[in-house]
Amino acid sequence: MAKTKAAKGRYWRAHLRCVGVLLVIWFVTSFGCGILLRDWLDENFPSVGSAPFGFWMAQQGSIISFVLILLGYKFWMERIEADLEHDEEETK
Amino acid sequence: MTQDTWNFIFIGLSFALYIGIAVRQRAGSTSEYYTAGGGVSPFANGMATAADWMSAATFISMAGLIASKGFDGAQFLMGWTGGFVLLTVLMVPFLRKFGKATVPDFIGERYYSKGARGVAVVCAIFICLTYIMGQMNGVGVVFSQLFGVSLAQGVVIGSAVVFFYAGMGGMKGITYTQVAQYTVMAFAYTIPAVFIAIAMTNNVVPQLGLIGEYTAGEEAVPFLEKLNRINTDLGFEEYTSGKLEKIDLFCITAALMCGTAGLPHVIVRFFTVKDVKSVRKSACWTLTFIAVIYLTAPTIGAFSRVNLIESLNNSSYEKAPEWFKDFEKTGQMAWVDKNDDGVIQFHGPGHSKNGTDSVFVVTSTVKKPIYPEDSAPEEQRVGKYGERILANKTDLSNPNELWFGNDIMVMANPHMAGLPKWVIALLMAGCIAAALSTAAGLLLVLSTSISHDLMKKIVKPDMTDQEEVKYARAASFVALTVAAYFGINPPSTFIAKTVAFAFGLAASSFFPTLLMGIFSRKMNKQGAIAGMVAGIGFTLSYIIFFQFLGGTKAQYLFGISPEGIGFLGMIINFLVAFTVAKFTPAPPKEVTDLIDNVRYPGGKETAAQDH
């Protein structure tokens, strides 16, 4: 029982880490690139086609990254859950 | 064949399809009525959620707003897609594991009180009603265009269709019809964009056209440069530079994102799949389907801006294209010949001394063109060149002569580009699909909140299933009537803006309460109730003050507009909730057990689907 609890604790921390990391990426690609650092990126980053980098991030790039973030979330969480199942089997 | 014939063929066919599916999938039990019995595949659910999500606001209004706002339009693009990330990683897997049918259900159970459930019901009603208002307005725009009638008549026709349609199938029927609707919408949205991209930029992919070169002119120039130039020539801001303050843009985007994660009708969608694993898969599909439309929207916005200016500016009214006169007839475009030369001149705020570009005098009650009565003598209704005369007072402080509602940009776009008639008909079918699917999903949540959470769980617990469904239908009728009224007299002239308010309300009420319910074991009922009341109360009063009671821009708190205030409301919700929770007793053991259960995969659902 105690071991299951420890396994669950590990699972929850891994889960939180996954969510935390993805949310940081989420914040940087949207609020970071699209709004806060937009002007600086327009100046200093290479244009995407003929669009300034910050503008492109705000209107296209951020959306593409959101899709990738969710894909990452799906695979990462499946691994974490597989680890938990593995842990639980060992304790049985 | 005329345009009308094409329109009726396409819309008729799509309707036959939806109704066919709805009849085949009629709900057999209340569980099927609310959550389709929990057995929809992630792919189908992803598509249905995308259709639910893509409202009339997105479909009709967003590209037009982007066209007029340029860079600032990114608030909608990022806000409405980024919110899905929050929703997926912070909310739905846990709520799915909890396994109840509605959001107030979770709040009622997690915060162990009828009071919390009651407050949640009230919040759900406010959010959904505001959102439906925006939809009804959109439905009105489409139907008025279709039948050539006024906006008000369009709204009435639309409400009748939505009511008939939403009451029929329940969640099961709606889910499968929404799959069909997404397909119609995706084609309707992307095909015109592809056609226009080929014509303007010689590029099949509109997204590449946007960052490519404009090739329709004498020599090829980068497309965005061309767009910036024609904008500045007319006295507008550069397309790629924003006008909004950074803090305002930040707050609006954040409010839209957090609101997305707190929208009851989207959360409920994920209760229709089998388990937590399918929830994640389904969310991936949903966002992919949504991204197809959202990546196209900025291209439509930019293309239509060029098209509009090129085809109307400096053309004489008599030679103006036929579609302009059609839109004039329905009151969605207007021309006032200020300098009496018979030529349409379009100017931005940069060309007047006081920085305005309004065609007529705009007051707090008159924001749109108004026209003389039909019974008025002809010379008061029809101008010298055949144009429709406005009853508004002309604003002579600036030279701009052209007025148009942003909401018609998407529909006018294929006309402006001279696309084949069937493309325009497809687009009309898509618009109606967008409005119908969202309005139906919202009505369902709204009626469930009233029949299930309010009547069954609070007022009359011994109600039978049949009675519950009856209450649900009655509630959706009342809700629709209210929504239709505000659809005709909307709180804001733009559909997308009205909808943005709904997001602010959701961001300031449900988002923080659900988040604390899942991630904080210490949050108790007193904290949650106080937080919700404070958050939504603050946001609602701010919106009402600035939209209805004539608050001015100078009075904005920290320069945040009413669309963005939901973000501040959310922070207030968090602060109040934690402060109150600190001084009141911690939640009982059953509740912390419930939280533990919700956090881990496997095991049984916390609450069986018992209704």
pLDDT digits (tens, 9 = 90+) for B478-500: 888 888 887 777 666 666 677 77
Give the mean pLDDT of A53-66: 85
Predicted local confidence at residue B30, as pLDDT: 58
pTM of the model: 0.83
Q: From B58, B134, B534, B573, select the one nearest B295 (Cα to Cα).
A: B58
User: Rounded to whole angstroms, how far apart are CA atoms A41 and A46?
Assistant: 8
Q: Does domain B3-308+419-495 have CATH number 1.20.1730.10?
A: yes
Q: Are strands B333-335 and B213-214 parallel, antiparallel or unpaired?
A: unpaired
- B447: Cα within 13 Å, side-chain hemisphere: 28
User: DSSP of B105-167, one letter per residue?
Assistant: HHHHHHTT-HHHHHHHHHHHHHHHHHHHHHHHHHHHHHHHHHHT--HHHHHHHHHHHHHHHHH
| Spatial separation of the C-alpha atoms in residues B249 and B180, rounded to whole Å | 35
Do B212 and A50 lie within an 8 Å CB cutoff? yes
Please, which contacts does A11-20 make with residues 24 or more away whose CB atoms are closer than 8 Å? A11/A80, A11/A81, A11/A83, A11/A84, A11/A87, A11/B600, A12/B599, A12/B600, A14/A80, A14/A83, A15/A77, A15/A80, A15/B599, A18/A73, A18/A76, A18/A77, A18/A80, A18/B89, A19/B89, A19/B90
Structure tokens at A2: 């105690």
Report which DSSP code applies to B360. Answer: B
Query: What DSSP letter does each residue of B486-543 carry, written as one string?
Result: HHHS-SSSSHHHHHHHHHHHHHHTHHHHHHHHHH-SS--HHHHHHHHHHHHHHHHHHH
Residue B520: its chain A contacts at CB < 8 A? none
Distance separating the N- and C-terminal Cα atoms of chain B: 52
Cβ B167 vs Cβ B473: under 8 Å? yes
- Name the interface residues of A facing B (CB cutoff 8 Å): 8, 11-12, 15, 18-19, 22-23, 26, 30-31, 34-36, 48-52, 55-56, 58-60, 62-64, 66-67, 69-71, 73-74, 77-78, 81, 84-85
DSSP letter string, B82-111: HHHHHIIIIIHHHHHHHT-SSHHHHHHHHT
Instruction: Report the candidate in B97, B30, B32, B35 with the shortest Cα–Cα distance to residue B607.
Output: B97
Q: How far is CA B158 from CA B51, B139, B161, B263, B543, in A?
A: 18, 6, 5, 23, 27
ipTM of the complex: 0.89
Give the nearest partner residue to A23 out of B89, B246, B294, using CB atoms: B89
- Specify the pLDDT at position B603: 56
Gap between the Cα atoms of B191 and B422, Å rounded: 11
Question: For residues B443 and B132, is the Cβ–Cβ distance under 8 A?
Answer: yes
Q: Are B53 and B88 in contact (CB under 8 A)?
A: no
Chain A contacts in chain B segment 275-304 (CB below 8 A): 277, 280-281, 283-284, 287-288, 291, 294-295, 298
Nearest to B443 by CA among B469, B479, B474, B468: B479
Q: How does pLDDT run across B381-412, given as a tens digit for each residue?
A: 777 777 777 777 777 777 788 888 777 777 78
Dist. CA B310–CA B313, nearest whole Å: 6
pLDDT at A68: 92
Choose between B389 and B578: higher pLDDT: B578
In chain B, residues with a C-beta closer than 8 Å to the C-beta of A11 are: 600
Residues from chain B that touch A79, judged by Cβ atoms under 8 A, are none
Contact B77 A50 (CB under 8 A): no
pLDDT confidence bin for A92, thresholds 50/70/90: low
pLDDT at residue B606 in the model? 46
Conformational region of residue A84, where left means phi above 0, alpha means psi within -120 to 50, and beta covers everything else:
alpha
Contact present, B328 and B402 (Cβ < 8 Å): no
pLDDT at residue B46 is higher than 80: yes
**pLDDT of B482:** 83
What is chain A's length?
Answer: 92
Least confident of B46-50, B256-260, B322-326: B322-326
**DSSP characters for B463-487?**
--HHHHHHHHHHHHHHHHHHHHHHH
Collapsing DSSP states into helix, strand and coil, what is residue B316?
A: strand
pLDDT at B170 over 60: no
Distance CA B609, CA B163 (A): 27
What single-letter DSSP state applies at residue A45? S
Tokens of B571: 């922070």
DSSP code for B462: T
Query: What percent of chain B shows pLDDT beyond 70?
Result: 91
DSSP string, B159-221: HHHHHHHHHHHHHHHHHHHHHHHHHHHHHHHHHHHHHHHHHHHS-SSHHHHHTSEE-SSSS-E
What does each C-alpha distance from B411 to B60, B351, B405, B515 come to in angstroms? 7, 28, 11, 39
Looking at residues B582-599, what average pLDDT do you find?
81
Distance from chain centroid for Cα B603: 38
Number of separate helices (H) and strands (E) present in chain B? 25, 4
More reliable by pLDDT, B173 or B89 = B89
Chain A interface includes B220 (CB < 8 A): no
| Average pLDDT of chain B to the nearest whole number | 79
Beta bridge partners of B388: B382
Asked if B532 and B509 touch (Cβ cutoff 8 Å), the reply is: yes
Q: Which of B4, B16, B17 is nearest to B146 (CA)?
A: B4
